[in-house]
Structures are given as C-alpha cells and as structure tokens.
Amino acid sequence: MTEQDTPIAVGIDLGTTNCALAFATGASDTPQPLQVPQVIAAGEVTPRALLPSFLYFPSDAEFGAGALALPWYPGARDVVGTFARAQGAATPARLVSSAKSWLSYGGVDRRGEILPWDAPDEVPKVSPLQASARYLAHLRAAWDEEHPDHPLDEQDVVLTVPASFDAVARELTTEAATLAGFDEAPRLLEEPQAAMYDWLAQRGNAWRQEVAVGDVILVVDVGGGTTDLSLIAVREVEGELQLERIAVGDHILLGGDNMDLALAHTVRARLEDAGKSIDDWQMRALTHACRAGKEALLSDESEDSYPLAIAGRGSKLIGSTVRTELTAEDVQRVLLDGFFPVVESSARPQVPRRVGLTAIGLPYASDAAMTRHLAAFLGRTADTSDDARTFAHPTAILFNGGVTRSPRVRERICEVLGAWTRAEGGETPRVLEGTDAELAVCRGAAYYAQSRRHGGLRIRGGTAQAHYIGIERAELAVPGIPPRVDAVCVAPFGMEEGTEVELDQVFGLVLGEPVSFQFFGSAGREDDTVGAVVKPSDVTELSPLETTLEGTDGEVVHVKLHARVTEVGTLELSAVEDGSSRRWKLSFNVRVE
C-alpha cells in the first residue's frame, strides 16, 4: 500500500463551545490542527484552528448578498463559527449555541427543530442533531477544500464525545455525522481518553517512566460549558503496562464560561454600587475582559489587580469608557472559593441532581462547586475491596481545558484532593504535564486513529455506562396504580467494542405491533452484570427503546434481548428470536411527547 492509499488519521473534537480537527498523514507524524476557513466578519473569511460551535440565522435584511459566503458555499445565508458567535452575542434570539448539551439532554425532542431555544417564529429552527451536523459539515467542507484528493469520509476519522454521554447521545452523535455526509460513521472516543492519548503522544516512550503499575490517573477536563471526569488505571498485563479507563463522571453542565460570567457579575455589581451602570452590550465586553483578567491573575500571583476598560458602544470612546479592575481578591473569592472550594471528601453537590422538569431548558449544574462534584464522583467509585478508603484515590492528575491552564486552579485542585487522600493514608497526586489545553482532544483523537492503524498503545475501557431496560413486575394489577417496574441490566459497564451479551429473560412479543421498552443508564454502577435487577430510582431514565417486529401479524414470538457494542463504539440493542436467527433492531425514540 502506498502512502497515498493509506487513510489519513483524523481526530475531530465536536465541542460544546469550539470544534477542532487535527490530522496526521504518516505513521509517525505528529497530529496537526486543520486551519478552518470561517466568516469572521461580514464579507471576510479567514482560517482559524478553532471553529466556535455556534450557528447564527440572520434576518433577510441583516446582510447583503455574499456577506456570509464561504469558499465552498458562495450562497450561504446563515453562518457557523467566529462570526456566528460574535453576531449572536448581540442578537441572541437568532443564535444556536450549546447544541451538544441539548443533544445529550433527554428532556427535549432531540430530533425536533427546537433551536434557537425560545426564538421568535420567523427565525429558522434546527434540531440539536442538525446543528451538530452543521458543525461537522463545515469541518468536512473545509477539509475537502484543502485536500480535494483525500475526501474526509474516506479517511480514518475519530470523533470525540464526553465520557458522560449515554448510549442515546452517542448514537445521536454518529447520526449527526451521517447527516453531515460521512458515509461511514466515525469511530467514537471519549474526550478524557483523547486528552490522555495526547499526553501519551507528547511523552513518547517516556510515559512508562512517569506512571507505574497501580497508578490511578484522574482526568479533569473543564471545557467552556461542561466538565468531564474520568479515572484511568495503570495495570500490568503480560508484562506490559496497560491503561484502562475504570470510571466516568456524570455530565456536569459547568465550565469556564460560568466562571467568566460569575466574575463579570461581581464586577458589574461593584460598578453599580459606585453609581456607574453598564448596558448589556458592555456586559459582554466585560465578560471578555474578565476572561483575560482571570487568566492573567491566575497565572501570576504577584499581581494584585488587572485593569478593565469597557468602551461604550458609540463612536465616542473618551468619557464613555468605564474603567475598573478585577482584583486578585475577586478571583480568589469568586473563582477559587466559589468554583473550587476547599471541602471534605464526604462533601456532595448541594442540590439534588434531578428535580422535576419544572422549567424546560438545559439542566445546568445547580452547585457550582467543582470540588463537590469531584468528591461525589470519587466517592461513588471507591474501591470496595479496601475498607480503609471511602473514595477512589487518584495518584496522578491530567488536566485538560482552558481553565486548568491556570497554575492556581491546578494547585487548588491538587491541594483539596491531596488533603483527602492524605487523610486516608494516601499520597498527594502529582500532575501530568505537557498537553495543550485547547487542541489536546482533537490531537489525541488523531493519535488514537493513527495508533489503531499502525499499532500502538490503546486505553481499554469499553462502555462508560451500564444500561438497563424496564420490565414490569408480574403482580396483581391494582386499578389506578401503574405496575411497578424493575430495571434489568442488559449491557454492563465496560463492554468492549464488538462484544455482544444476551439477557436470559424471554419476552413473548406480538409481531406487527410496535413495542417499547423503558431504557435506563448509570455511570456509577460498575459491578452490575447482565440480568442484575435494580430499582429504577437508582439509575437514570433515558429515551425509550422501540421497534416494530415485522412478520406475520398476530404471531407471537419469543425473543431475548441482545446488546452489542458496535465497532464505532455505539450500543445496539436488538430482539432476537429464541432458537432462530430472526433479529429486530431496537432504536431510541428521542421524541418527547
């Protein structure tokens, strides 16, 4: 096979706030980011490594013809990327943002055209699925423009998803890729694993000296809008060091953007106390300025304050510019103590994770304290064989995401975690250095694609959640009371790609009629095996599973449920006739009545 024929290893980070693509041509090339052409102002196109995950629908009167043209799409009437974000900041009703969070949120119809959320009727709407597909399609077009002889869907593409994505969100992600024109669904990889791969790639063979058997690596991935936690254990198998992802955290909608906004509100309140008011337009500029200030103050402890100057919107700059500052004390109080407070290892997020869906909207984390979310995660992944430990003790930390570039944030997390582990006789975890916070995920994904083809280290892990189906109990029916339901494990945690399991229970199902099962997931129950029965309240309900069993109407067949992890990493459930090979695929119904 010639160099020309070998597919290029491509990693795509489809992020909540930014997308990026990295690629590596040869077996030993370092993955490089693709510079993605995008509209950055009306009529101006320039390539950037990051494509902000925003889609803006302008009004017909807003821009002249061609103002949003892309090299591959001269007639574009809407816009993705930098300009979408900038324009949408001033006109939020026309902006689609956080499509990825909507994609993983079961409270809405994810195939329904619901975004921009709460937009007036005249604004075109797309589904979370279509919006995600738009970002992927933009990356694909940018790639094909630059590599006309190597179309993207013929390359080895790996697409990253949060580790906390359940089976439904993963399935929808591959569906978005299909919608974006990928004939073959890209392989999925969890983001914290991708960050870990990037670290391994940066370290080369030296990683074997930096971690040892028995190490447990905590990956803390704080993105713009979400936080993802994973634990990766270093084990020895047949004399070789091996990495295995042993636990993943819940989906936490809390990230760097929340911190910038919190700081901006603090500064605004202080300005208002001093009798100066700022409008919404200036508030956005203030949020931007606070981000820069946060980064400066977090990286240099000797600075007491960072000057903020917020211009008015009009052409008069002098006199209308509000001058204030962000102080080190603000950052300490709002950011470190607010988002990373020093808490006990027994602390837990203060508000229950799930409340009734009173107001529809994204389920933002109601407790902003990352350290409490971290305590909850480690607490539920405690090693049950060791009674002395009330939580899993990480021995090393790998940070990813913009916020974690700050040494003070890193120090705080290490300090809190170190106090917990030392209290139980452990060591303070050390920090694994050397990844790039912005591009680690897509680069790591490309490295993974590369090492799959050319042979290289793999992180083992399998499925990140255990999945359950709801089965009604066979009891006397009581009028007015719905029958009680048991959640039965149909696919345990850690199933590897290409494996299939079968649930022993046999169901009698009528052909020709739609059937539906309740479907549940849990990231915290690593020990349940196939057939294990749990209370539905202990797991999280996902979208129902549906199928219509085609065949002779009225015939009753006895089926068993099978769960298979596909090669790309999605979970596939099917009903298989007992004693024959007839098979019906069950699909997720993400429409919400």
Partner 1 sequence: MEPLDFVSRVILAVIAPWRVLFDGRYAASVKGIDEPPKALPEPTKPKEPEIKPTEEERDLTPALQLLAILQREGRLIDFLQEDLAGASDGDIGAAARVVHDGCKKGIADYLDLAQIRAEEEGDKVELEAGFDAARIKVTGNVVGDPPFKGTLAHHGWVVDKIRLPDLAEGHDPSIVAPAEVEL
Least Å distance between CB 98 and partner 1? 25
Q: Classify residue 423 by burial, with Cβ atoms within 10 Å: 0-12, 13-18, 19+.
A: exposed
Q: Which is nearer to partner 1, 91 or 587 (CB)?
A: 91
Least Å distance between CB 437 and partner 1? 19
Least Å distance between CB 42 and partner 1? 7
Q: Which is nearer to partner 1, 309 or 351 (CB)?
A: 309
Alpha-carbon dihedral 138, 11, 95, 367, rounded to 10 degrees? 180
Contact 545, 586 (CB under 8 A): yes
Q: How many whole angstroms separate alpha carbon 194 and alpha carbon 11?
A: 9
Q: Which is nearer to partner 1, 254 or 290 (CB)?
A: 290
Name the residues that contact partner 1, by CB under 8 A: 37, 40-46, 64-69, 71, 74, 281, 289, 292, 307, 309-311, 313, 315-319, 321-323
Q: How many whole angstroms separate alpha carbon 130 and alpha carbon 513?
A: 30
Give the β-pairing of 519-522 and 466-472: antiparallel
HSE toward the beta carbon, residue 102, CA cutoff 13 A: 26
Least Å distance between CB 317 and partner 1? 4
Q: In terms of residues, how long is the chain?
A: 593
Least Å distance between CB 62 and partner 1? 10
Q: Which is nearer to partner 1, 48 or 582 (CB)?
A: 48
Q: How many whole angstroms separate alpha carbon 511 and alpha carbon 554?
A: 6
* Enclosing H/E stretch for 389: none
Q: How many whole angstroms separate alpha carbon 432 and alpha carbon 419?
A: 19
Contact 282, 288 (CB under 8 A): no
Least Å distance between CB 313 and partner 1? 7
Q: Which is nearer to partner 1, 313 or 454 (CB)?
A: 313
Least Å distance between CB 41 and partner 1? 6
User: Around Cβ 141, how many Cβ atoms within 10 Å?
Assistant: 19
Q: How many whole angstroms separate alpha carbon 373 and alpha carbon 367?
A: 8
Least Å distance between CB 288 and partner 1? 10
Q: Which is nearer to partner 1, 41 or 360 (CB)?
A: 41
Q: Which is nearer to partner 1, 321 or 366 (CB)?
A: 321
Q: Which is nearer to partner 1, 73 or 364 (CB)?
A: 73
Least Å distance between CB 43 and partner 1? 3
Q: Classify residue 505 by burial, with Cβ atoms within 10 Å: 0-12, 13-18, 19+.
A: middle
Q: How many whole angstroms separate alpha carbon 455 and alpha carbon 163?
A: 24
Tokens, residue 4: 């020309």
Cα angle 455, 459, 460 (rounded to 5 degrees) comes to: 110
Q: Which is nearer to partner 1, 229 or 322 (CB)?
A: 322
Tokens, residue 504: 């022993």
